[in-house]
Chains A and B, each alone.
Chain A
Amino acid sequence: QKEVEQNSGPLSVPEGAIASLNCTYSDRVSQSFFWYRQYSGKSPELIMSIYSNGDKEDGRFTAQLNKASQYVSLLIRDSQPSDSATYLCAVTGSARQLTFGSGTQLTVLP
């Protein structure tokens, strides 16, 4: 079983719609959760971090964490074509390094 799992996609949504990205993790002692965005040929760019159960909102982005279900998600409201990228879920536990999922490729159709 992979430590961090994401649906690889591709996920396509029309412009203006809500994009929903999901991630599950296997290590119950995981402490910190991150969403990164990676455009093709570029480096990961931090979008959101979340540490406590519940929702965290930042502009058009909302991260949701449920530690009991070992589940973290990212919602993108009013999706724009510029949001088209690969979204990486990453988790840290007692070790400092990030463990990444394989990423979900999102395409926002104009």
Chain B
Amino acid sequence: NAGVMQNPRHLVRRRGQEARLRCSPMKGHSHVYWYRQLPEEGLKFMVYLQKENIIDESGMPKERFSAEFPKEGPSILRIQQVVRGDSAAYFCASSRRREAGLTDTQYFGPGTRLTVL
């Protein structure tokens, strides 16, 4: 049973370029979460998606960042016009569809390490 998959594992971009990070949830999971971990800092929530819907983007920077989870294919976190401050580890987590009385446990992918030169 494959876990959460993320690619690329490492991504180098120059300032002003675009970064696209991909996440495929665990089999049977329909909820996807993106978190960012800045160097020497804790994990911060960015966005929560279900298929074709953004449920909560309260942690997403208002500009340059967007996320999607299409009906087919992986979830994509897109960062336009990257700046050096975007350098971080970006983790995707997934959980199964929540049913009444159950709590989703989130399982993390290996992360994408973004370096902006």
Contact = CB atoms under 8 A, between A and B. Distances in A.
Interface of A: 31-32, 34, 36, 42-46, 49, 51, 88, 90, 92, 95-103
B18 interface: no
A43 B92 CA distance: 10
B48 interface: yes
Interface stretch (B68-76, B79-87, B108-116): B108-116
Contact of B106 (A95, A98, A103): A98
A98 B91 contact: no
A49 B24 CA distance: 23
Interface string B41-67: 111110010000001101100000000
B22 interface: no
Chain B: interface residue count, which band?
20 to 34
14 contacts: A31-B103, A32-B103, A36-B108, A43-B111, A44-B91, A90-B43, A95-B56, A96-B31, A96-B33, A96-B95, A97-B33, A97-B56, A98-B93, A100-B43
Contacts of A31: 103
B11 to A, nearest CB: 15
A26 to B, nearest CB: 15
Contact of B43 (A46, A88, A95): A88
Contacts of A45: 108
